Amino acid sequence: METATQIPLVDYLVLGDEPHLVANECIQCGARFFDRRNACASCSGTDFVQVSLSPTGTLRTFTIVAQAAPGVPVPFVAGIFDCDGTTVRANLVNVAPDPRSIRFGMAARLVPVPIGTDSHGTDAVGFAFEPLEEAHK
């Protein structure tokens, strides 16, 4: 019996028992970026080290998307999260897309999100955040 293979949709998503994101941190100024960089946008430094981000964060702002490209189900919640000082843009899932179900500052955790499966059975996996707490009603 063959086990399904999973691949992350982006290089900075680490799958496994404890999914998390990895950022490139500028050694000179500490600015963090996803994906590869030739130079730091903050200080022009060229040396980076990879750092694992906390799998939990705080919702800083959000919008409820009501119109999207064909085939993308709406409404959904797009958010900006603070993960130990690193800004992460992702959808907020497992919550009603209603402002009464979401609050600024709510704690959330990174969760893998299946994107699709190819003809060889390989699953593409993205990420989103889900609330860690019950939002105010």
Instruction: Quote the number of domains for the chain.
Output: 1
- Structural domain contains residue 73: yes
Query: By residue range, what is the domain housing residue 101?
Result: 5-131
Say whether pTM exceeds 0.85: yes
Cα 36 to Cα 133: distance, rounded to the nearest angstrom: 34
Amino acid making up residue 79: G
- Structural domain contains residue 137: no
**pLDDT tens digits, one per residue of 19-33:** 999 999 999 999 999
**pLDDT tens digits, one per residue of 95-124:** 999 999 999 999 999 999 999 998 888 999
- Structural domain contains residue 21: yes
- Structural domain contains residue 136: no
Cα 26 to Cα 5: distance, rounded to the nearest angstrom: 33
Reported as a pLDDT band with limits 50, 70 and 90, residue 136 is: very low
